[in-house]
Structure 1
Amino acid sequence: MQTSTGTPHPITRYGSPVLHRRCAEVTVFDDALTGLVADMFASMYAAHGVGLAANQIGVDARIFVVDCPDATGDHTVAAIVNPVLHLPEQRELITDVEGCLSVPGQHADLVRCATATVTGFDVRGTEIRLDGTGTLARCFQHEVDHLDGLVYVDRLPAKLRRRIITASAEHPGVGAGVNATPDR
């Protein structure tokens, strides 16, 4: 597990309003943003996650952080501000197990694109582009969903979603996530 100079915050649980609305664009790139990103990394590592969106610690801002492997096992560690998700026109879809720190202790099979790209900015406001395969591609899609007000269970059939949310409400915290890796 990595460490961070930031301060861990509690993970926001499914049902909290900040998780169910589109997050606000970031317009100021300053020390406060750098501090927030450090706190997000600290929160993600404390919760044993591989990705975390700002609204998962209660912050209404279009930012996510990842420390996640791609299909080759190489890890990408990054913060993406105001991300835009790009999916290929010719989409290879993969069904895999997914979980979420905001829905602890639960997982479900979910179809996602095998590859994904995000464009956005780093904490200094410099444009960046990240390409992902495997779990990293799934992570990009999962985190951008969060910033758009969707949690992975919102993509599941209603009956399964209700069962997972009910079971998660009884869970105290972190469980296993995508591909038996830590939750996002």
Structure 2
Amino acid sequence: MFVSRSAIVGLLLPSASAVSLTYSKLYDNNSIPVSQLACYKNGLIMDGQPEWQTIGDIPHSITGLEQVDGPDSPLCVSRWILTYGETSRPVLILDSAKEGFVSTLDALNWLTGNKGEELGKVEVKTTRVDRTNCAFPLRRYRRDSDVSWWFLPGICLANSFLEGIFCRLFSSSSWVQSFTVSWIPKRIE
């Protein structure tokens, strides 16, 4: 049987497709137990993260995906990059959705320039990525008074059009800063 090289390459590369993205205020309620999410299984929402007991414990954009049908779905804890216009945001699939992707209002605002509530729903390009492209592992970078700053190794993107590595920092509640680096900060315990 002959299989062309282009067919093999096409199967190996993550595909980008357009799909709807909306938000649920449920994901913005930090006190909701993770046991209410579709991917919750055996007392955990994700292996290796036993400290994630409520939505507020999860430092990633929680997102539901239409194709998730329960805790055994192969899409549970998958990582995706959602792109709207020129803006992208990584998300973590931990729940199901009625249609397309459903994320936090913060994620929709991030992508739409704070027009998430006004727009309600947008078409985004989606690309499934591996763990290293979605902010794992999370490391504390520094602490300034009452704000914890986190360094996200997975958000450091080496893009051909940038000098160095482009990264984003976010506080415990929202993304706040972008910068270009050519070094990795030390881990702060």
The answer to whether the superposition gives a TM-score over 0.5 is: no
**With CA pairs under 8 Å and 6+ residues apart, which has the higher RCO, 1 or 2?**
1
Which one has a bigger Cα radius of gyration? Answer: 2
Q: TM-score, normalised by structure 2?
A: 0.29
Instruction: Name the structure with the higher strand share.
Output: 2
Task: Identify the structure with the greater helix proportion.
Answer: 1
